Amino acid sequence: MKTAPHCLIALVVALGINTLVSPAAACTGIRLKPKDGSVIYARTLEFAANLQSNILVIPRNMAFTGTAPGDKAGIRWQTKYGMAGANAFNMAQISDGLNEKGLAVGIFYMPDYAQYQAVVADHVHQALAAWELPLYLLSNCATVQEAVAAARHVLVSDALLKGIDFVPTFHYVVHDAGGRCVVLEYIKGELKVHDNPLGVVTNAPTFDWHMTNLSNYINLSMNNVPSRHISGITISGLGQGSGMLGLPGDFTPPSRFVRAVAFAQSALAVATAQEGVLQAFHILNQFDIPKGAARGTENGKTMADYTMWTSVSDLKNHRYYFHTFDSRRIRMVDLNQMDLDAKEIKTFPMNEKEVIEDLSGKMK
């Protein structure tokens, strides 16, 4: 499936050109650190087609087999740690989640840049598919350091995703309860590990490009710009926010990356993890894509990315929170309350309709 940047999609729509392009997933991830020592990792999930996501709780000692090219069996492992998170296409896989040790891993789409590793016959036993890497890392690792070592132990292959029949191109963010964060990328068949001190991630291009691009926005500040006096005239900013004048507001990955850094770094420090969770949801409201604002066409059909769900992981208290496009009610799974020695995967449906409370009859 070919993809196109949102700026190109917008241009195509504006010009009315009947071109075969598809919107690319537009996910945004941030990290917050409340004063109580907790670490909050949060992200949005955008796509144009329903990903059929649900919340899974996967216990310890569950057996899994990776997928090698040609739908062959790859690496085999058992889950050492229990975990919770969201899946896609009803698969027994976690696309975004955390485990009982406070490690979090998330998939972020990176079209046109990710190129996975070659798998020769002698190394099929090390292979897994791109969508299986988060589950493998959450199964086996407690820290970012362990996750990087584990990623070097496996081969992420260009296996086809059944039902879609193409190779999804991802990069990955990894956070731990100690506050360290890295981004894992597969570039020209090699694993690249980028330290991520800001804890922010979006989509293409590569992470190092986004970090370099921040140099174009060093003028941004959370403080208003002071008035200036020119030839006897005082010129003042218009209202609040003059320090952020020039902050990019479109939906492209570079613009969202800059905006995510600006909002995460300017957020006032909160005292507790619970406050941090709510603060993260508020920040990510700034990245919601409404249906219709980012469009493309595929086989003559209009496709539009939108924010399907937003999740927040409390890495200290091992809680996974989320709300969805259809329901803004925040729901949560607490790993500490789950039976992580259970014999089967527990599934919680994400689909829920919005509940609007009618206060009319309660008015005094």
- Please say if 27 is a catalytic residue: yes
In order of 24, 235, 302, the CA distances from 49 in angstroms are 11, 48, 11
Please state, in angstroms and rounded to a whole number, the distance separating the CA atoms of residues 60 and 353. Answer: 32
Does 205 sit behind a cis peptide bond, omega within 30 degrees of 0 on the bond before it? yes
3-state secondary structure the chain: CCCECHHHHHHHHHHCCCCCECECCCCCEEEECCCCCCCEEEEEEEECCCCCCEEEEECCCCEEEEEEHHHEEEEEEECCCCEEEECCCCCCCCCEEEECCCCEEEEEECCCCCCCCCCCHHHHHHEEEHHHHHHHHHHHCCCHHHHHHHHHHCEEECCCECCCCECCCEEEEEECCCCCEEEEEEECCEEEEEECCCCCECCCCCHHHHHHHHHHHCCCCCCCCCCEEECCEEECCCCCCHHHCCCCCCCCHHHHHHHHHHHHHHCCCCCCHHHHHHHHHHHHHHHCCCCCCCEEEECCEEEECEEEEEEEEECCCCEEEEEECCCCCCEEEEHHHCCCCCCCCEEEECCCCCCCCCCHHHCC
Please state, in angstroms and rounded to a whole number, the distance separating the CA atoms of residues 152 and 191. Answer: 7
Q: Which of 7, 27, 141, 181 is catalytic?
A: 27
Residues classed as catalytic? 27
